[in-house]
Amino acid sequence: MSEQKYLRSTPCGEIIGTDCQWPGVAAYKGIRYATAARWAYPAPVTHWDGVYDATRYGACCYQPRAFYDEAQMPEKAFYYNEFRRGETYTYSEDCLFLNIWTPADAAPGSKLPVIFYIHGGGFNGGCGHEKHFDGPEWPTKGCVAVTINYRLGPLGFACLDALKQEAGHTGNYGLYDQLTALQWVRDNIDAFGGDADNITIMGQSAGAMSVQQLCLTPLADGLFAKAVMSSGGGVSKMMVAKPAEEQYDFWNTVMEKAGCSDLAAFRALEPEKLFAAWKEAKATLKNPMAAGGPVLDGVYAVKPGPDVVAAGEQRHIPYLIGMTSEDIMPPILYKMVGDWCRTQAAQNGPAAYGWFFDRQLPGDSHGAWHSSDLWYWFGTLDHCWRPFTAKDRVLAAQMVTYLTNFAKTGDPNSADVPVWEPIDTTHNRVLRLGENPTHMGRASMAKLTWTMLTNKAVGE
């Protein structure tokens, strides 16, 4: 059966897409949204010549797994087998691509809600087209889906005084990529049938932390209408971004280990050598998370998240926020969910809805591990090796319904799913998704604490 092709006209020029696993849904893959030299802030793409071929995914950012065979790394086996086995990925510094799925008959003026997804991976790995992201079910429910790539690891989060002298600030290059992708979508999504004034941003793990940053930064004002955060949303004094200047010593160490005497040499360093020097420098840290990720750069991130929220300066929009039962640091994440929602209510913001996902995925005994809920939110169970049952299909259908309802109206509820009550100052019940029929309830902090102390789960 031959590929169906779909031609559209956008503000940047004409573009051709292809079909996907959902009948009646058109996919536009590998759209270049920006360009950026190493450690330069991104410049948005506003024009291309000819017809843009968007029938194949674009390159992923270089990341540690670009330089080894995951299939030969036992410590990487779990997530590799889950999300990437049998797939082939191309890696490059030229990686600022996004993907759009939309109903094939959507046209300018259709004003469909948009779900803009930011992948996780510890700010060090991942891309927007791994198996679980490859063709979200959302367009079958009347929403436009977007996934993005952004710069990772040392390419996305280096901090150096020389870079600050050059641009006025340093760090957060990957966050600026996300912001630029969001701006590109806002400027162009009408051509794909989307509503630029009804964009829901969504992310998981580091992607949820990225969504959180977009909800806190003054630079994103007016760019989105709602937010969804899985396994990483909310703010905590335990997880506060540090000033960029505090990372200068670390990145100078990376330069030294790479044998680079100045910024020009560091910029010209081969990616494999850059990642090797970064890995070597990380081994000297007590907290490897200090080696990359969001920093307070004075422009994108001006002050710590808890301070922004205490001042009521975060986005006052509808939220969905939750986590999984065998997550990373589950009691901390669970508290962050409740605290975030109650704060929105106390500050008279729109409704904020919490969830707790505890489906013990069939096929092994790892439970509802970190990232396990993504198969269900995306409705991509058919891409997975697991022996999913009718129970899983029902759960995924409910979760896709909740999410697309939320994207449309800011309220996840409808007549065909159990009632989901927002958390407010009077109660802290969450929507329980998983082992039992979907219902409002609570999770046991004692059990979550025991899980944190005994669980071997790790993120990517």
**pLDDT higher than threshold 60 for residue 385:** yes
Q: pLDDT band at 455, cuts 50/70/90?
A: confident
Cα dihedral 167, 173, 178, 181 sign: positive
Q: Which fold has domain 5-242+306-454?
A: Rossmann fold (3.40.50)
User: Residue 456's pLDDT is what?
Assistant: 66
Q: List the domain boundaries for the chain.
A: 5-242+306-454
Q: pLDDT tens digits for 85-125?
A: 999 999 999 999 999 999 999 999 999 999 999 999 999 99
User: Residue 163's pLDDT is what?
Assistant: 98
Q: Which of 315, 76, 70, 366 is nearest to 201 (CA)?
A: 315
**pLDDT higher than threshold 60 for residue 1:** no
Q: pLDDT tens digits for 316-375?
A: 999 999 999 999 999 999 999 999 999 999 999 999 999 999 999 999 999 999 999 999
Q: How far is CA 22 from CA 3, 6, 26, 44, 382, in A?
A: 13, 14, 8, 30, 11
Q: What is the pTM of this model?
A: 0.97
User: Residue 104's pLDDT is what?
Assistant: 97
Q: What is the mean pLDDT of the chain?
A: 96
Q: pLDDT tens digits for 160-215?
A: 999 999 999 999 999 999 999 999 999 999 999 999 999 999 999 999 999 999 99
DSSP string computed for 143-211:
-EEEEE----HHHHH---HHHHHHHS--S-HHHHHHHHHHHHHHHHGGGGTEEEEEEEEEEETHHHHHH
User: Residue 86's pLDDT is what?
Assistant: 93
User: Residue 416's pLDDT is what?
Assistant: 97
User: Residue 458's pLDDT is what?
Assistant: 60
User: Residue 267's pLDDT is what?
Assistant: 98
Q: What percent of the chain has pLDDT over 90?
A: 92
